[in-house]
Structure 1
């Protein structure tokens, strides 16, 4: 399957958003870190503006075309909304963010601090997206989709481009999957090198939209019930993500919620990283054996989000 997203798109996105986003660091915790025999390198993308990788895609979407007088609209479990709110404020546009009832208080507060208007309603992310779509149809506002957009995916793909420059000897990278925009963009970057770096998606067992799409041969709806649902809670990845991921992704590994919680605890204990559940999901694949590195394999783990509230931090730091 030929991908509709290529390296040239990601190069263009990286140039477009340069100066708007942070170049996030890479951490090598050393041999034996997290009790693993093989070396694990961490990309600290949670240090991005607004606390997650999503700011890259938000800026690329806003800078790729005009914005109508109705402003910008987005639906989000929290991180995408914060990213769009931050990017909109920086480029001088108004934004309305639709969030579900499961969005954490910390993420809602962050969106408000970034100056966006918030509409809370619906039990899950899909409900918020439906409300957002209706608002866009009524007002003509510019929709910034969290994953089903080439502009969003190209912006997220700049993570891989940057990481490639920082750690050129990686063999495999593990990337959390919600709607699939991040893992699709990153896999499109490395697919251009004849799969020199394998990209493995990681989903919670209770939120497995991309895994189910691969099994079914196309996007399907799934039930969502996971500790990471506020950031990895898409019910359906959509055709565009499926096509890009199918062309570049190695496979998708599934992890239980218990492993995600353990990854949060170990990241805090060993390297003092306060990751939200979705931000720790990729690390969970290593810890629970959903992904087993080969002898001598150099594995990169993307820590993609850290918008955790005080209660969540107290739970993992106990």
Structure 2
């Protein structure tokens, strides 16, 4: 009988954590008695909105980029992203003394686009509803001799993302559930790898916007399913299909996916600002939205939540909290 070796292990995540020491921030874990009372559980919020570039993505981008051969770094890096991975690769490239070319959708939030440029990256835009960002990035990479660092479809990226959950469990101790936002699936794949290895009985629950439930449908079908390009305020989760590599992990380790609507996301952003005194972007607010809206079934006693990012400019934040887009 043969056993398939998982693409990422707990040792891989621990190795990534050692590589990130002194480079990435060890982000805070927040508690709120008000939140606990509203939810009816003990909630531990791992605040990746305080990470470098304002999101968890720096963990995976740096872990992957820092492992490239010197000749690869000398030629430069390419990436494709709606914003947070774009910033992460741009900063990782700067830290490693190389250059980055980032393929971003034309409608990416201005704050994310501007921040990516501020780290020194070249930005190439495309229409997310008609263009193929992967094909564009790969063509640029082939033309210029660049190495593509994908946003989630890479073992080193997944391992890097898993360090957020590793830190959370080191600080909070054993938890009954871990709730994680799902886009391409890299964060939850890394998080589930850590959580299930350390605490086999823990439930790992993903959260997606209702308009973009590709991972939920895929888990139910047992294979990857595509949905139309989601129209949601959670731009970091506006994907059509789970990653092949990430889904191979998540179908084994993720226990379920909860869905939240845009209004519930807005309410969670307002709650985080007014009661937790922290700014969270729409995608980062989806796990909190799921808790506040009662979308998590069989609510456990001790819950960990990964707040994945806080990259939203002041104007859009105010507009979203007021009920707009």
Aligned match of 2:267: 262
Aligned match of 1:222: 227
The whole-number CA distance in structure 1 between the counterparts of 2:298 and 2:282 is 22
Deviation, 1:195, is 2.2
Query: How far does the alpha carbon of each residue in 1:91-139 deviate from its partner, in whole angstroms, 9 at most, with x for none?
Result: 1110001101220011001101111111111234963232112212322
**1:51-90 equivalent positions in 2, closer than 5 A:** 51-66=54-69, 67-90=72-95
Matched length: 317
Query: How far does the alpha carbon of each residue in 1:174-231 deviate from its partner, in whole angstroms, 9 at most, with x for none?
Result: 1000100000000011121352332111011111221122122222221132334421
Cα distance change, pair 48–316 in 1 and its aligned pair in 2 (3 A) = same
- Partner of 1:98, secondary structure, is strand
- Partner of 2:257, secondary structure, is strand
Query: How far does the alpha carbon of each residue in 1:62-88 deviate from its partner, in whole angstroms, 9 at most, with x for none?
Result: 112212433000000000000110111
Of residues 18, 28, 39 in structure 1, which corresponds to 2:21?
18
Scaled by the length of structure 1, the TM-score of the pair is 0.94
**1:298-317 equivalent positions in 2, closer than 5 A:** 298-315=302-319
Aligned match of 1:153: 158
Aligned match of 2:182: 177
The whole-number CA distance in structure 2 between the counterparts of 1:248 and 1:286 is 21
Q: Which moved more, 1:48-57 or 1:101-110?
A: 101-110
**Contact 2:78 / 2:146 at 8 angstroms: preserved in 1?**
yes
Deviation, 1:2, is 6.2
The whole-number CA distance in structure 2 between the counterparts of 1:125 and 1:192 is 40
- Partner of 2:98, secondary structure, is coil
Cα distance change, pair 32–120 in 1 and its aligned pair in 2 (3 A) = closer
The whole-number CA distance in structure 2 between the counterparts of 1:244 and 1:228 is 27
Aligned match of 1:50: 53
Q: Which moved more, 1:37-46 or 1:103-112?
A: 37-46
Deviation, 1:33, is 4.3
Query: How far does the alpha carbon of each residue in 1:15-34 deviate from its partner, in whole angstroms, 9 at most, with x for none?
Result: 11211100000011125547
The whole-number CA distance in structure 1 between the counterparts of 2:218 and 2:297 is 23
Structure 1 runs (4+) deviating above 4 angstroms are: 31-34
Deviation, 1:308, is 0.5
**Contact 2:230 / 2:239 at 8 angstroms: preserved in 1?**
no
The whole-number CA distance in structure 1 between the counterparts of 2:180 and 2:263 is 18
**1:173-252 equivalent positions in 2, closer than 5 A:** 173-193=178-198, 195-252=200-257
- Partner of 1:170, secondary structure, is coil
Query: How far does the alpha carbon of each residue in 1:160-180 deviate from its partner, in whole angstroms, 9 at most, with x for none?
Result: 111111100321111000100
Q: Which runs of 5+ in 2 are unaligned?
A: none
Scaled by the length of structure 2, the TM-score of the pair is 0.92
Q: Which moved more, 1:171-180 or 1:36-45?
A: 36-45
CA RMSD of aligned residues (A): 1.9
The whole-number CA distance in structure 1 between the counterparts of 2:43 and 2:298 is 9
Cα distance change, pair 35–86 in 1 and its aligned pair in 2 (3 A) = same
Cα distance change, pair 178–3 in 1 and its aligned pair in 2 (3 A) = same
